Structure 1
Amino acid sequence: MNAGNSSPASTVPLPAEVERPRSLRDLQRLVRPVLVALPALGLVAGLVARFSGFASWAGPIWALATVPVLAVLLIEIIASLRRGDVGLDIVAALSMSGALIFQEYLAAVVVALMYAGGQYLEAYAERRARREMTALLSRVPRTAMRYRDGKLEEVALDEIAPGDRILVRRGDIVPVDGTVSKGVAVLDQSALTGESIPVQQIVGEAVMSGSTNAGDAFDLATTHRAAESTYAGIIRLVEEAERVKAPMSRLADRFAMVFLVVTIVLSGGAWLWTGDPIRALAVLVIATPCPLILAVPVAIISGISRAAKAGILIKGGKALETLARIRALVIDKTGTLTHGEARVVAIHAESGLSQDDLLRLTASLDQASKHVIARAIVLEAQKRNLTLALPTSVVETPGEGVEGEVDGKRVVLGGRKFVASRVPDAQRALSARPKSIGAVTVAVSIDDKFAGTLVLADELRAGTAHLLCDLREQGIERIVLATGDRRDVAEAVTAGLPFDAIHAELTPDAKIAVVTDERENGPVMMIGDGVNDAPALAAADLGVAMGARGAAASAQAADVVLLVDRLDRVHTAIQIARRARRIALESVYVGIGLSFIGMVAAAFGFLQPVQGALIQEAIDVAVILNALRALRGGTKISN
């Protein structure tokens, strides 16, 4: 049995529709097909009766098939009015009621069928649009295989505690955060980050919950409980994203009110002008339902789902619409503009020694140290597939350096002063090499002779300059750096980049002030990753967190979370947001325009109620299909 698909017990918070299968949403899913089937069968039965010599039965059959749809619609309208929502469903109720009152039974059943069909089509479109986000929810693991007393036992996730050792088998979803304790983990993180290529994690490296084991089984030492793990946090973010209603949808509601008034006035005017209630009925019919209330939510949800596929979690329609209107950018440096960790960027070996030889000896000795710089050097050696030796006679001076024996050689490494104090000729060689601002130099000596240096720095992310230029082209008028680092480091790292201003040595409060000041240039987007960035992310019009490696606080405060550790996803997110908003507005304006033309035609007697119903349904189908374009195309998602 797969550990990701067994017992239902879990501490991971599940969405309401998963926990309560008989919820309102599920009830609607059951009722909607019935509401479509009843008028469809009634329409066919009535037509058969009319052309089979039982014409007197046709009207009652059509009326009987209309009543259930009208009854459900009236219940929904009453519920909406109690919430303070007034929409164009009222027009649908008026058109069906009017058709029944004036004995236009064929028009009544056609309107009922088209309305119920439109609601069903809208629900299907929303489910289709949510597919990428729902995929995250459906993959929530339920159990895990835990080692206990030398045996394996399958337990519910709420029984897993930090420090437990669990087995992650091939094909299993990693249930909790942890580190590899045995074996090599080959992980498919595409559902979380959008990266299509599996990543490899060795013993001691962190593993993110929600990843799928694409390789052989490995052991995982857990570091968090299930409810505190990365995947549980993402699930909560997804739930929050689905609950938030876009301001664009509220704008649609205001348009709906205007359209409702126009519809009532036009239909009433046609009746008063001609004395023919059928013209008023035709106007009502062709205005039912309005594409305004269909296109906006479908396009918004489609954009959010499209972004999720790219590893970008947008917390609802409000964030998506704001993202489409950004004009100023404030960005953090460490962990955002840069990778946030020291990496070996240069190796200077003395004559007679290759770079790999120097790195191998240095990394071999550094295996005995827990210092973050030592870890970075060992990782670099592992990336180059160098075979490391076992160090002996190791002596570490905390904060200064380490010395010991490697392959029979006496190796000393550490800061400039540390190595120079032990190797006389090192001082002269080191003084000839200038210090790099924002970089760390590790000096190395072998057998009491200076052997070279390793330079480590927190590098800019690849393509940063190109990204900033692309953002300029997208309409970002101001780009500002806000960092807590020293000014000389900030200026050195960002040299040549198109920043309008650089603010350094900032406290969290000072970052908020920078964000506030930039508001005079338009909606502000803040990008950060650390706990110190969380206040500024919350203060900005739109906060974007580097969620793949950033702090939980920043992800919680942000409106958009980049699940993949790539800054270029910001450019992709803006493209997706602007395209989704543009498609929604296109659908609304075209739909309203066509409906208005049809209403005028009906008012002048050119369209009968049945014809108006068919035309309006064609308009609704067209705008929904157009809104679904936000799901695909327009934006190439790179891996």
Structure 2
Amino acid sequence: MKSMWAANKERVLFVVSTALLLAGIIAWSLSASATSAGLWITGTVLGLVFSLAWTIQAVRAGQWSVDVIAVLGLAGALAVNEPFAGAMITVMLASGQLLEARASARARRELSLLIQRAPRTARRRSEEAVTEVPVADVVAGDRLLVGTGEVVPVDGRLLSTAVLDESALTGEPLPVERVTGEDIRSGVVNAGPPLDLLTTAIAAESTYAGVVRLVEQAKASSAPFVRTADRFAIIFVPLTLLLAGLSWALSGDAVRAVAVLVVATPCPLLLAAPIAIMSGISRAAHLGVVIKGGGALEALAGGQIMLFDKTGTLTQGRPVLAEVILAHGYEADDVLRLAASLDQVSPHVLASAIVTGGTRRGLVLQMPENVEEVHGYGLEGTVDGRRIRLGKASWTVGENSPADTPPWVRQARRRADLDGSLTVFISIDGKPAGAFLLQDAIRPDAPRMVRALRTAGLTRVVLVTGDRAETADMVGRIVGVDAVLADRDPAAKLAAIEHESARGSTIMVGDGVNDAPALAAAGVGVALAARGATASSEAADVVLTVDRIDVLGDAILIARRSKRIALQSVLVGMGLSVVAMMAAALGFLPPAVGALVQEVIDLMAIGIALRAVLPGAVHTISMPAADIATAIRLRTEHDATLPLIEQIRLVADGLSSLDCDVSPVKSLLHSLETELLPHERADEKLLLPLVDRALGSSDATAAMSRTHAEIEHQVAQLARLVHILEGHPAQPEDAIELRRLLYGLYAILRLHNAQEEEGAFSLVPDAALRSKASP
């Protein structure tokens, strides 16, 4: 019974106070003065009891409370026999409490639904049968069966294609298709046929459990604008009391003092401002940004300096396949297909990179047999009747002295050292076959996000990371930060926060356990929890539940707009209240009329505050469905050209000045003319115009258009040289010229692909871009 009263007290108070007011009006119209007075007095007493309780609660908390004005106004209305004015004040207070409670509930609705949907059991597949087990018993490496309409209970990797409803976590309204080998997050719903899942995390460490924990922290306070309200209360309460006292002392009429108190009842602080703030929190939650209360929103709106950790924030936080280096006699697609097929059953994070690399290139994977994991070395199994080993070089290639190490192995190690990459080596049927270079790639949306933050008003952007200076400087240059602080441990990150805080209010963004102290120390801590909650999520004031950081710029715009609207509602409402107070002090507004005037002022303030519910300007680009479909198709073609681009470098590497064989160049040229150039022409014709439409300008695509022209030029030069060499033995200088053209073309294409990732494909909604069907 107590919990039911707590959940519905605002509604009960509003219904009862409104009924008493209306019943009194009806009785008064029927000339039943005594009855109407009794009803209004009851309503006034009811309001007095509640407002007095709120005031005592605030005093116990050590806060200034504007509710004291309501207490005095209600008591004064009883004292001077103005029960109608008191009943009006009660209705106003009750409506304020009800609307604020509804606004708070709406702001938390999206997150609260997640708790109700939390799965309790999972279906674990074994060789014998499928058994239902408590979700807490699931461990990494288990194979789960998720039926149609069921919530995915833990994070994992798909062993079959799937159609998923990810709206609960990302806000994307349409189901998306995921291909075999993709990592998916717990909390999404299987919207297609039953799917098989290899778990990569236990339930307690999965995304869904982390978001549920965040719900408990994200409960917005009952007065989310309390700090600003208190600042106004410090001025407004003494001003009201002084004006009421002066009007009574100078006129000798206590009714004037009551009238001042009646029109001074501060509904804009009690209601309008919280509505604006809670609306901002709700809109941010819809984008996947959990803001833990009004205080955090205010601080986010006031941020001036942004500090980023590198890994997982400006970079993707997980390895991606960057390059395949081959031993002589092997084809890249064949080696990658075998490796990705074997890695499908491994929960290791490096396995995800290789599987995703294979599916992005359109390779058809097969389930491996006789798989065995050799702890500390790698994975071994059979694919297509061939024995595959993946792992450390000493296990797959063998121990060799530096002089006996194959050149391609030295090349792989050298490139990994230069780029800060990881290496995974592969052997096929006992013979070394190649190596995979894995990098933590920069997020395509990171440079755009940094520019958006500057547009939103941030004055300084700093990269602070524990990574080495060479890697951090490269990321900082590409993303466009003002300063790079590398080789910083958690203590040094704290010192950096303190140093930057002297320049202005700070916002720190991170996603790791080592970021938690810095997040707690900054003016606002922002954690990325799209791949599961960590200590950083617990310490942060703002949490991103989507795997895009460009929404942070949108959240700052929403926070600043909501705070601005809240201040507008306060200033307009309180300003009009001061004018009405002056009129009441001079005797122009009796208490009953003053109550009606104050109600009109309240409605105006609420109307101003409700503007925060409406969509405002954001940095995220909205694209028509037809343009998104075109971009997805072109992205698929873009991915299909990646092996061809790597082939350019391999052909150039293989050219010898002593014995120049032009036949590989001829074969490559045919592929460039029949596969690459048609795709680049389609990009020029279709992709760049849709980017122009999305951004409202052609300036952003001018550089991409220029590189299209340069690619055409380089391929045409290569074709002319090959044509000149037909029928003539190639000379050493011809090999040099061929290598020059091929390496130049390779560099241009690598740069151009980065331009398209940042300038075009990063505009497409992440869920839509990753939902393209498996070839």
Higher relative contact order (CA 8 A, sep 6+): 1
Hey, which of these two has a bigger chunk of helix by percent? 2
- Structure 2 residue 299 is the aligned partner of structure 1 residue 322: yes
Query: How many Å apart are 1:563 and its aligned residue?
Result: 0.5
- 1:438 and 1:107 map into 2 onto residues whose CA distance is 74
Query: How many Å apart are 1:461 and its aligned residue?
Result: 0.1
Between 1:551-560 and 1:105-114, the stretch displaced more is: 105-114
Query: How many Å apart are 1:152 and its aligned residue?
Result: 8.3
After superposition, residues 169-188 of structure 1 pair within 5 angstroms as 169-174=147-152, 176-179=153-156, 184-188=161-165
After superposition, residues 408-419 of structure 1 pair within 5 angstroms as none
Query: How many Å apart are 1:564 and its aligned residue?
Result: 0.6
Correspondence for 1:504 among 447, 464, 486: 486
Question: Is the contact made by 1:172 and 1:213 (CA closer than 8 Å) also made in structure 2?
Answer: yes
Query: How many Å apart are 1:542 and its aligned residue?
Result: 1.6
Question: Is the contact made by 2:27 and 2:33 (CA closer than 8 Å) also made in structure 1?
Answer: no
Query: How many Å apart are 1:539 and its aligned residue?
Result: 2.2
3-state DSSP of counterpart to 1:456: strand
3-state DSSP of counterpart to 1:186: strand
Q: Which runs of 5+ in 2 are unaligned?
A: 622-764, 766-775
Match of 1:284 in 2: 261
Question: Is the contact made by 2:181 and 2:344 (CA closer than 8 Å) also made in structure 1?
Answer: no
Question: Is the contact made by 1:183 and 1:217 (CA closer than 8 Å) also made in structure 2?
Answer: no
Opposite residue 557 of structure 1, the aligned amino acid is A
Question: Is the contact made by 2:46 and 2:90 (CA closer than 8 Å) also made in structure 1?
Answer: no
Correspondence for 1:547 among 514, 529, 532: 529
Match of 1:212 in 2: 189
Question: TM-score normalized by structure 1?
Answer: 0.82
- 1:431 and 1:385 map into 2 onto residues whose CA distance is 27
Question: Is the contact made by 2:156 and 2:197 (CA closer than 8 Å) also made in structure 1?
Answer: yes
Query: How many Å apart are 1:604 and its aligned residue?
Result: 1.9
Match of 1:193 in 2: 170
Between 1:355-364 and 1:625-634, the stretch displaced more is: 355-364
Match of 2:98 in 1: 120
Opposite residue 263 of structure 2, the aligned amino acid is I
Q: Which runs of 5+ in 1 are unaligned?
A: 1-16
- Structure 2 residue 79 is the aligned partner of structure 1 residue 97: no
Correspondence for 1:255 among 217, 229, 232: 232
- Structure 2 residue 458 is the aligned partner of structure 1 residue 476: yes
3-state DSSP of counterpart to 2:267: coil
Question: TM-score normalized by structure 2?
Answer: 0.69
- Aligned pair in 2 of structure 1 residues 131, 496: CA closer, same or farther (>3 Å)? closer
Match of 2:548 in 1: 566
Correspondence for 2:284 among 285, 307, 311: 307
- Number of equivalences: 614
Query: How many Å apart are 1:83 and its aligned residue?
Result: 4.1
After superposition, residues 334-353 of structure 1 pair within 5 angstroms as 334-346=311-323
Question: Is the contact made by 2:379 and 2:390 (CA closer than 8 Å) also made in structure 1?
Answer: yes
Correspondence for 2:590 among 580, 597, 608: 608
Match of 1:7 in 2: none
Query: How many Å apart are 1:382 and its aligned residue?
Result: 2.6
Query: How many Å apart are 1:440 and its aligned residue?
Result: 4.4
Opposite residue 124 of structure 1, the aligned amino acid is R
Match of 1:37 in 2: 19
After superposition, residues 150-169 of structure 1 pair within 5 angstroms as 162=139, 168-169=146-147
Match of 2:213 in 1: 236
- 1:87 and 1:533 map into 2 onto residues whose CA distance is 37
Question: Is the contact made by 2:337 and 2:358 (CA closer than 8 Å) also made in structure 1?
Answer: yes
Between 1:83-92 and 1:33-42, the stretch displaced more is: 83-92
- Aligned pair in 2 of structure 1 residues 42, 153: CA closer, same or farther (>3 Å)? farther
Query: How many Å apart are 1:340 and its aligned residue?
Result: 1.6
- 1:169 and 1:618 map into 2 onto residues whose CA distance is 55
Question: Is the contact made by 1:186 and 1:214 (CA closer than 8 Å) also made in structure 2?
Answer: yes
Query: How many Å apart are 1:223 and its aligned residue?
Result: 7.5
Query: How many Å apart are 1:279 and its aligned residue?
Result: 2.3
Question: Is the contact made by 2:335 and 2:433 (CA closer than 8 Å) also made in structure 1?
Answer: yes
- Aligned pair in 2 of structure 1 residues 546, 227: CA closer, same or farther (>3 Å)? closer
- Aligned pair in 2 of structure 1 residues 318, 57: CA closer, same or farther (>3 Å)? closer
Correspondence for 1:530 among 487, 509, 512: 512
Match of 1:520 in 2: 502
- 2:178 and 2:315 map into 1 onto residues whose CA distance is 22
Query: How many Å apart are 1:550 and its aligned residue?
Result: 5.4
- 2:78 and 2:346 map into 1 onto residues whose CA distance is 85
Question: Is the contact made by 1:191 and 1:309 (CA closer than 8 Å) also made in structure 2?
Answer: no
Query: How many Å apart are 1:427 and its aligned residue?
Result: 1.9
What is the CA deviation profile of residues 436-475 of structure 1, one whole-angstrom value per residue up to 9, with x for unaligned ones? 4223466779899998775432110012222112222323
Match of 1:427 in 2: 407
Question: Is the contact made by 1:177 and 1:230 (CA closer than 8 Å) also made in structure 2?
Answer: yes
Question: Is the contact made by 1:180 and 1:202 (CA closer than 8 Å) also made in structure 2?
Answer: no
- Aligned pair in 2 of structure 1 residues 266, 445: CA closer, same or farther (>3 Å)? same
3-state DSSP of counterpart to 1:298: helix
- 1:579 and 1:605 map into 2 onto residues whose CA distance is 39
Query: How many Å apart are 1:352 and its aligned residue?
Result: 10
3-state DSSP of counterpart to 1:495: helix
Query: How many Å apart are 1:632 and its aligned residue?
Result: 3.1
Opposite residue 463 of structure 2, the aligned amino acid is L
- 1:553 and 1:41 map into 2 onto residues whose CA distance is 56
Query: How many Å apart are 1:141 and its aligned residue?
Result: 3.2
- Aligned pair in 2 of structure 1 residues 25, 258: CA closer, same or farther (>3 Å)? farther
Query: How many Å apart are 1:105 and its aligned residue?
Result: 3.6
3-state DSSP of counterpart to 1:292: helix
Query: How many Å apart are 1:482 and its aligned residue?
Result: 1.8
- Structure 2 residue 52 is the aligned partner of structure 1 residue 74: yes
- Aligned pair in 2 of structure 1 residues 392, 317: CA closer, same or farther (>3 Å)? closer
3-state DSSP of counterpart to 1:544: strand
- 1:41 and 1:631 map into 2 onto residues whose CA distance is 34
Opposite residue 236 of structure 2, the aligned amino acid is F
What is the CA deviation profile of residues 12-52 of structure 1, one whole-angstrom value per residue up to 9, with x for unaligned ones? xxxxx9xx7435343343333222222222222222x22xx
After superposition, residues 370-449 of structure 1 pair within 5 angstroms as 372-388=349-365, 427=407, 435=415, 436-440=418-422
Query: How many Å apart are 1:335 and its aligned residue?
Result: 1.5
Between 1:533-542 and 1:240-249, the stretch displaced more is: 240-249
Question: Is the contact made by 1:118 and 1:617 (CA closer than 8 Å) also made in structure 2?
Answer: no
3-state DSSP of counterpart to 1:521: coil
- 1:429 and 1:230 map into 2 onto residues whose CA distance is 38
Between 1:329-338 and 1:388-397, the stretch displaced more is: 388-397
- 1:32 and 1:78 map into 2 onto residues whose CA distance is 21
- Structure 2 residue 526 is the aligned partner of structure 1 residue 579: no
Match of 1:107 in 2: 85
- Aligned pair in 2 of structure 1 residues 371, 618: CA closer, same or farther (>3 Å)? closer
- 1:404 and 1:241 map into 2 onto residues whose CA distance is 46
Question: Is the contact made by 1:179 and 1:206 (CA closer than 8 Å) also made in structure 2?
Answer: yes
Query: How many Å apart are 1:354 and its aligned residue?
Result: 6.9
Between 1:350-359 and 1:617-626, the stretch displaced more is: 350-359
Question: Is the contact made by 2:319 and 2:350 (CA closer than 8 Å) also made in structure 1?
Answer: yes
Correspondence for 1:627 among 606, 609, 614: 609
Between 1:463-472 and 1:428-437, the stretch displaced more is: 428-437
Opposite residue 334 of structure 1, the aligned amino acid is T
Query: How many Å apart are 1:310 and its aligned residue?
Result: 0.7
Opposite residue 215 of structure 1, the aligned amino acid is G
